[in-house]
Structure 1
Amino acid sequence: MSAIDSPATRRRGGRTSLMAARGAEKTPRLSTINYAIKPVEAVSADQLERIHLASLAILREIGIDFRDETALRQWREVGADVRGERVHLEPDMIMGLISKAPRSFELRSRDPDQRVTISQETLTFGTMQGAPNVRDVNGVRRSSTMEDLRDVNRLTQMLPGFHVAGGFTCEPTDIAVPWRHLHINRSSLVETNLPYFGLTTGQQRAEDSIAMARIAYGEEFMKSNAVIIGQISGNSPLVWDATMLEGLRVYAEANQVVLLSPFVLGAANTPADVAATAAQLNAEALAGLAYTQLAVPGTKMIYGQYSVSVSMRSGAPMSGMPEVSLLNVLVGQLARRYGIPWRTTASQSSAKTFDPQSGYESAIAYMSGATAKSNLFLHAGGWDEAGLVCCLAKFVADAEQNLLIAKYAQGVSFDHFDDALEAIRRIGPGGHYLGDAFTLKRFKEAFISPELLDYLSYEQWKAKGSKDMAQRCREKAKATLESYEPPQIDVAVREELDAFVAKRQNEISPSLA
């Protein structure tokens, strides 16, 4: 053995060599993540079938309200039992309609090299949605503005842990409500080049969202490619309303993606029982999924759900609870039974600051979603205060957590197993691996190294300013925004988007100008 290969030399120079090998290269954006882990199951096959049959019984015997004349007419035309707004659905009709849905589909971005597959074997990350407030880069909580939304989209574009932009991640409260959806869509299309969530609250807002996507992507391209997702929220218990169903049809008819999400507040709008809550949630989802295929057969769709339990002390939603984790697992089992990709809420927290509660609750939500093999992690960036706040410090922390969860989901690789065993033979008893050729070649991919989580000694941490996690993340958010590089967009396309916004504002409500 030469001196350079001796264990003693490796002990002295290993750490130095390893640190020298660390590059400052930019982490590439996550591509499609293929699961290699097996999902956790909370109930047996017999128990799952019991929940499934209970859901079908709810829809047949109790029925579900479709508060929309078009939907009621369509249900009548296929022979459903419609009594006023209440629709009673037979199991064969439900399952026959759901069988028309594609089991996988692709989301495209304006970057031809960046595309993501949504299926039961893949994992995708999207940001939070719907916050009326932000906790900004200085840690100040306030009403969110258009500039805040633009900053969130800029962070989404720059951080590699997101596949899908959130669209209405935080509400631009300084924009008049009738015009707000126009500016939200414009920011998604200009500040990012990712697939994104459009607006679905009513036919006109949905049509404007699709029209703006067509300006950016081209009408012909969108006839055969999905670039935008419409989230359709249920009104539990057992209601789908006209506002959401109008938006659903617009997205489905435009060959875009529809995400159907019952809204569960356990013990408030569902029974105080996990299994029965799953049965009701599933009934609502099945009815929405079936209707989507009735409206436009073959629509790309995702089984969604938002689930929290409710505090019996305050009535407030509680994130990170074991019951919510169990619901995640149950929904995963049900969605796999139906062959439909499904979503969960990844990083939800009820914390009022970016503090240990925020971290604990979000970590539980992340891991329960991953072990349940969720296919779309929605709200995987910034969610605090039960969704009332988008925290920019947490946003960048979650983006890093997405990278960690992606690594976990891909499981244990045996691609380099034999070479690693050779390293064991080389090093032998009493040596170390830090300077070994295999370690230097493989360490970046073998073991992920987070930037925002702190692994310094106490003395090193103190010398660097004694910064806590929130401060480090605020600094990261500021630095990322300062380094923002806008995606390429044709000048003519941008001008057409601006002209569309101005035209629609004048048509919707010229008095607001």
Structure 2
Amino acid sequence: MKFMDYFTEAEVTRIHEASLDILQNTGLSVRNEKAREIFKKAGCSVDETTQLVKIPAKLVEDCRQSYVPEYTFTAQDPKYDIVLPDNRPVVITGSSAPNIIDPKTGEDRRATSSDIANIANLINELDGFDVFSISTLAQDAPKGQISVSRFYPALKNCKKPVRSNTPTIKDLEDVLELGALIAGGKEAYKERPFINHHYCPVVSPLTMDVDSTDAVIYLTEKGLPVYGTIVPNAGMTSPMTMTGTLVLGNAEFLALSTLIQLIRPGAPMIYAVLSTVADLRTGNYAPGAVETGMLQMAHSQMARFYGVPSGGYIGLTNSQINDAQCGYETGINTTGALLAGSDMFNMGGLLGSLMAFDYSKAVIDNEIALMLKRMKRGMEFSEENLCLDLIHEVGPGGTYLDLKHTQKNMRKMAFYPKVATREMRKKWEASRSTAEERAFEQVNKIFENSVQKTFPAEIDEKIRNNFPGLVKGDMVW
């Protein structure tokens, strides 16, 4: 598949050089002491008073030599393992929304661990999604169990790869302990680390934070899966030009990737972004804007230059409901990103600029995901598929409807949606159902046929003994 490019080879090289210039001459503020020490030992200029680190271009180029072209999302069930870029487009839910649209009342409310269990079950059953990035927070988490109260119901109810983050190293250690208990031991877990970690350690412009950077260092040292997302916002935390934002974000990616490769050469990475342009009429965040898609497309071209997988939070919406805005923001940006070579799409289920999960939106996004996968599969060119003999046989004015050839190819050639309607108006008027209503019918069908999921009793007992008072982690529908 050929990809759409915004830049010539010479322009890509210039963007790379400009990013190196930023790292070497402007530098970045590195607030994490461990990270400063790693950079210092590698020959970077480090000012401990200002915490400013300047990274020589040669060091970045040396670290580029250990980049690897693949990243694997490991699952509890090996049949769900996903490899970037081989399995592109890899579709992931949006994550960490504080709220949920209540499926019974339609009202916006704080999400709980039971909601996470429900969503995990839903994503496990929707073929368009490859990875469950835990969609919400858990308001009912006991004190000291914020993260395990999210990962436990997620891992209990979804056997696809599960991904999220943790606010502290203590939380991270708890989550890794949970993984080891489920796997049957620390060594077994390390062989198949089915918890996938993601952070935003670089705060634009050009600042590495303390806690997220700590987590990236910790996981990289242990050889466990982790990657970061770069999030410049043009007009606020990056220049108010597309290329200026691209150059700044690219420099931030290179800074983070240099840190990772200094810790463990050959550590897998994803060039992941959520680059946006602020709506300066109001100052509102605009992840659903077309410029988000354009920036993702440009970052993905840079990722191909570096030979690493790419993607990020693409296909989000600013809409608060499942309306036309919601559909076209998700559809336009994900299509552009796919055609530009993005591999990973965090796009599923969230409304209102990542603030609330909605079940119907998740099912609609599942259908969009399946369309993207069909688009990526493309048109299979072969002499057989030219169908010349068949066209000669049927001739002018004939029909292909009753042919065995049509029956043989109809299912694998065409994508048949479950949410979108193709009925004529008179038949549709009998129900006058909306896409949102049809999507929620699918949600209900999935839960009507779902059984409560559990871990083996021995494992669950160990988990609950290790984390007294832990949430139940069960679906409540």
| Smaller-chain TM-score bracket | over 0.9
1:171-182 aligned at under 5 Å gives the runs 171-176=137-142, 178-182=144-148
AA in 2 matched with 1:71: A
- Between 283-292 and 253-262, report the one with greater CA deviation: 253-262
Q: Which residue of 2 is the match for residue 3 of structure 1?
A: none
Check 1:416–1:477 CA distance in 2 against 1; reply closer, same or farther (3 A cut).
farther
Q: Is the 8 A contact 2:71 2:270 kept in 1?
A: no
Q: Which residue of 1 is the match for residue 218 of structure 2?
A: 250
- Between 222-231 and 150-159, report the one with greater CA deviation: 222-231
Distance 2:466 2:389 in 1: 63
Check 1:250–1:486 CA distance in 2 against 1; reply closer, same or farther (3 A cut).
farther
| Correspondence 1:400 to 2:364 | no
- Between 401-410 and 411-420, report the one with greater CA deviation: 411-420
1:200-279 aligned at under 5 Å gives the runs 200-218=166-184, 219-233=186-200, 234-279=202-247
Distance 1:446 1:322 in 2: 30
Gaps of 5+ in 2: 472-477
Pick from 143, 150, 163 the counterpart of residue 110 of structure 2: 143
| Correspondence 1:65 to 2:29 | yes
AA in 2 matched with 1:202: T
| Correspondence 1:474 to 2:440 | yes
Q: Deviations over 1:246-272 (max 9, x none)?
A: 111232233222221111222111110
Task: Quote the sequence identity (%).
Answer: 23
- Between 394-403 and 310-319, report the one with greater CA deviation: 310-319
1:427-506 aligned at under 5 Å gives the runs 427-463=394-430, 465-485=431-451, 489-502=455-468
| Correspondence 1:45 to 2:12 | no
State the 1:487 CA deviation: 5.9
Distance 2:289 2:308 in 1: 25
Pick from 254, 258, 275 the counterpart of residue 286 of structure 1: 254
Q: Which residue of 2 is the match for residue 190 of structure 1?
A: 156
State the 1:416 CA deviation: 7.6
Q: Is the 8 A contact 2:293 2:314 kept in 1?
A: no
Cα RMSD, aligned residues only:
2.0
Q: Is the 8 A contact 2:315 2:334 kept in 1?
A: yes
| Correspondence 1:94 to 2:38 | no
Q: Which residue of 1 is the match for residue 99 of structure 2?
A: 133
SS at match of 1:79: coil
Distance 2:71 2:273 in 1: 20
Q: Is the 8 A contact 2:74 2:196 kept in 1?
A: no
Q: TM-score, normalised by structure 1?
A: 0.86
Q: Deviations over 1:85-109 (max 9, x none)?
A: 1110011111222322321143332
AA in 1 matched with 2:323: D
Q: Is the 8 A contact 2:165 2:199 kept in 1?
A: no
Pick from 313, 316, 340 the counterpart of residue 345 of structure 1: 313
Q: Is the 8 A contact 2:349 2:358 kept in 1?
A: yes
Q: Which residue of 1 is the match for residue 301 of structure 2?
A: 333
Q: TM-score, normalised by structure 2?
A: 0.93
Distance 1:255 1:487 in 2: 30
Query: How many aligned residue pairs are there?
Result: 466
Distance 1:314 1:193 in 2: 42
Distance 1:266 1:481 in 2: 42
AA in 2 matched with 1:93: L
Distance 1:60 1:472 in 2: 54
Distance 2:361 2:469 in 1: 37
SS at match of 2:145: helix
| Correspondence 1:372 to 2:305 | no
Check 1:107–1:320 CA distance in 2 against 1; reply closer, same or farther (3 A cut).
closer
Gaps of 5+ in 1: 1-36, 506-513
Q: Deviations over 1:384-432 (max 9, x none)?
A: 1011111111001111211110111122112583473333233221122
Pick from 344, 348, 370 the counterpart of residue 381 of structure 1: 348
Distance 1:136 1:472 in 2: 17
